[in-house]
Structure 1
Amino acid sequence: MASSTKLHPATLVTNIKTCVPIQLDDGLNHNTWVTLFQLQCRGNLVDNHITSKDSLNTSDAKDSERQRLNDIVRTWIYSTISPSLLPSIVRPKDSALDAWNRLENNFQNNRTSRILHLESQFNNLSLSNFPHVKSYCNELQNLATTLTNLGTTISDNRLAL
């Protein structure tokens, strides 16, 4: 007889990098990465591993399955961040939530310096460094969007100037 055991959707993901196509690096893409990663986790029914302290605190027969799913999510995190971030995140006996929180804290703690750096880039951006106006405007818009995601709004008037 065939087994009636259902496969969990997360176990069918063979390459997380196709589902989360950007690599989290110095934080300029943090909000985009977080959004894509959370969507992937929700879509594969493992978002509790990055949101709930109780994702591993159970004592029923499904403990090994929960641990397996936790390890999958933790591997997803490790696989989608830059090698320079990895040493600050990896801990041998962590849960996915521990790794997620450590990563989040890393970016929250550096938020002010990232805002200052981005505002400096925004203020010092020069049209002469771009091949055409469209690429210059796109870069201004990207910087403004990133600053907005960090909680600093660039007004439309400032953007137009």
Structure 2
Amino acid sequence: MPPKNNYHPALAVTQIRNHITVTLGMDNDQYPLWVALFTNHTKATRVLHHIIETESGKPPVPTTADEKELWDAIDATVLQWIYATVSTELLETIVESESTAMECWTRVQRIFQDNQYSRAVTLEQEFSGTSMADFASVSAYCQRLKALADQLKNVGSLVTNNRLVLKLVSGLTSAYLGEGTVIRQANPLPEFYRARSMLTLEEAGLAKAAASSALYAKHNDDGDSSSSILGKPPNSSNKNKGGHNKKKRRREQGE
């Protein structure tokens, strides 16, 4: 009879990409997001201790053959999750025979945290130079700022909410300066997501106003075009009236 403890929720996961939806490449852009998704999934399936030592320390070492077999199966499963959610280039860098999931996780961590000070300098420069003028919408601009803030946090340079909001405001285009002033003068400063919502509402208002102006201009153009189609210039009736008055005056002078 098979042992009673041969089932574990981690072993029931067949499509890891349904849970970890990003592919981690050699660049740092997706690392914070990948870590967040991966650790959350391992908590849900009760295998976090296979990649990170928990507060209670290392998990108990399996003692029986059945426990050892189950442990090895779960660890191999977690290792497969890592392999399945990274790029081919990164996989070739981290894969090693006879590796545990925790050893592999640590290798990935070191790749993205090595030279963190030089990486922080590069990210700081990019963060400071980011401007809304380079993006198609408020949402895209905000998303980029948040991604850079997350990457800075990952290399040990925490970006506070106030700094993030002030940077958001300082990079706005002229059309949003009014709303930016409202955000900047708030005390305390709003949360980043609240400031983002305020700007997206302003964006929607500006788009609506622009659409109304375009419709009004088109209506006026269509009116002038109708006059041309009829073979008469705009206000032709006034011109005809003026000509009639001149003829009348000439007749009166002749008399």
Common fold, TM-score beyond 0.5?
yes
TM-score (norm 2): 0.55
Contact conserved, 2:16 with 2:81, CA < 8 A, in 1?
Answer: yes
Unaligned runs of 5+ in 2: 171-255
Aligned to 1:18: 18
2: distance between equivalents of 1:58 and 1:6? Answer: 13
Q: Measure how far apart 1:20 and its partner are.
A: 0.9
2: distance between equivalents of 1:74 and 1:27? Answer: 21
Identity score, percent: 31
Q: Which one-letter code corresponds to 1:97 in the other structure?
A: M
What's the C-alpha RMSD, in Å, of the aligned pairs?
2.7
Contact conserved, 2:116 with 2:156, CA < 8 A, in 1?
Answer: no
Aligned to 1:80: 85
4+ runs deviating over 6 angstroms = none
Q: Which one-letter code corresponds to 1:37 in the other structure?
A: F
Aligned to 1:158: 167
> Relative to structure 1, is the Cα distance of residues 56 and 70 closer, same or farther in structure 2, using a 3 angstrom cutoff?
farther
2: distance between equivalents of 1:144 and 1:51? Answer: 24
Q: Measure how far apart 1:54 and its partner are.
A: 5.4
Unaligned runs of 5+ in 1: none
Contact conserved, 1:56 with 1:66, CA < 8 A, in 2?
Answer: no
Deviations 1:42-79 (CA, angstroms, capped at 9, x unpaired): 21122221124956953412111111111000000111
Q: Which one-letter code corresponds to 1:144 in the other structure?
A: A
Aligned to 2:117: 112
Aligned to 1:43: 44
Aligned to 1:34: 35
Q: Measure how far apart 1:109 and its partner are.
A: 0.9
Which has a greater percent of helix? 2
Q: Which one-letter code corresponds to 1:34 in the other structure?
A: V
Mapping of residues 116-155 of structure 1, within 5 Å: 116-152=121-157, 153=159, 155=163
Q: Measure how far apart 1:34 and its partner are.
A: 1.3
1: distance between equivalents of 2:109 and 2:139? Answer: 33
Q: Measure how far apart 1:5 and its partner are.
A: 6.2
My pick for the range that moved more, 10-19 or 151-160, is 151-160
Aligned counterpart in structure 2 of residue 96 of structure 1, from 93, 96, 101: 101
My pick for the range that moved more, 128-137 or 101-110, is 128-137
Contact conserved, 1:73 with 1:96, CA < 8 A, in 2?
Answer: yes
> Relative to structure 1, is the Cα distance of residues 44 and 109 closer, same or farther in structure 2, using a 3 angstrom cutoff?
same
Aligned to 2:196: none
**Looking at CA atoms only, which structure, 1 or 2, has the larger radius of gyration?**
2
